[in-house]
Amino acid sequence: MRRPIIAGNWKMNMTPSQTEGLIKELIPLVADAACDVVVCPPACCLPTARAALRGSNIALGAQNVHWEKSGAFTGEISAAMLAELGVTYVIVGHSERRQYFGETDETVNKRALAALAAGLVPIVCVGESLEVRESGGTEALVQAQTEKALSGMTPEQIAGLVIAYEPVWAIGTGRTATREQANETIGFLRRVVAQLAGAETAAAVRIQYGGSMNAANASSLMEMPEIDGGLIGGASLKPQDFAAIVHH
């Protein structure tokens, strides 16, 4: 049985002081969670978050990582830096990084490999636009994204990471894939992983749904056999809503 994982992607929200307040409110609400719980605040809030999370069952995640260990990469953060800050998970290849900051399948792969080398767990994001979905190209696109993202990894490494399927057309739009659509595409991704790394690896890897999961639809989505959790955006900034998703 795969243990579900609910991760909150705070995006560019929350100052350090706000981070402390949100986490202190969240901790008692998810203390008895039956799933893994992760929060991913902005980089400048990671030290504050680490201190606030101490002794809780909530893991700390980051929103991005660079592939080089150090160097002239202004504005970037290395995996070693994140590890020393107490980070255990890192989001890689989010659709917003791809859309606004030139992220490619190649750089997603390099970032994920760097994260693994430093002992971090990558949350590797894949997903299609509305145009691709309506033209029937979803499977071809997410297969290509997944194959490139996982290139050069061992079956053991793949089994231990997290994949987040995020239909881009359902992020921040209020539109949500039906639970059948989400389950179908995640099931397809699992078959892609089986082709790459074997059936045992595919059965072990956790695949989240990242398309506007919220307190109202979390239970319905999480009932589906292929969906192993959620990568939560806006709802993760509201402790009561995020806790409701965690307890789905």
pLDDT in tens, 174-184: 676 789 999 99
Residue 178 in 3-state DSSP?
Answer: coil
How do the domains of the chain map onto residue ranges? 5-247
Q: How confident is the model at residue 172 (pLDDT cuts 50, 70, 90)?
A: low
Residue 71 in 3-state DSSP?
Answer: coil
pLDDT in tens, 97-126: 999 999 999 999 999 999 999 999 999 999
- Cβ count near 203 (within 10 Å): 13
- Note the CATH number of domain 5-247: 3.20.20.70
Distance CA 153, CA 149 (A): 9
Per-residue pLDDT, averaged over 45-58, amounts to: 98
Degrees, nearest 5: CA angle 241-160-158: 120
Closest CA to 196 of 148, 160, 152, 147: 147
Positions marked catalytic: 94, 166
pLDDT in tens, 188-244: 999 999 999 999 999 999 999 998 789 999 999 999 999 999 999 999 999 999 999
- Whole-model pTM? 0.96
Query: Residue 110: how many CA atoms within 13 Å on its side-chain side?
Result: 10
**pLDDT surpasses 70 at 162:** yes
CB 4 within 8 A of CB 36: yes
Distance CA 215, CA 238 (A): 10
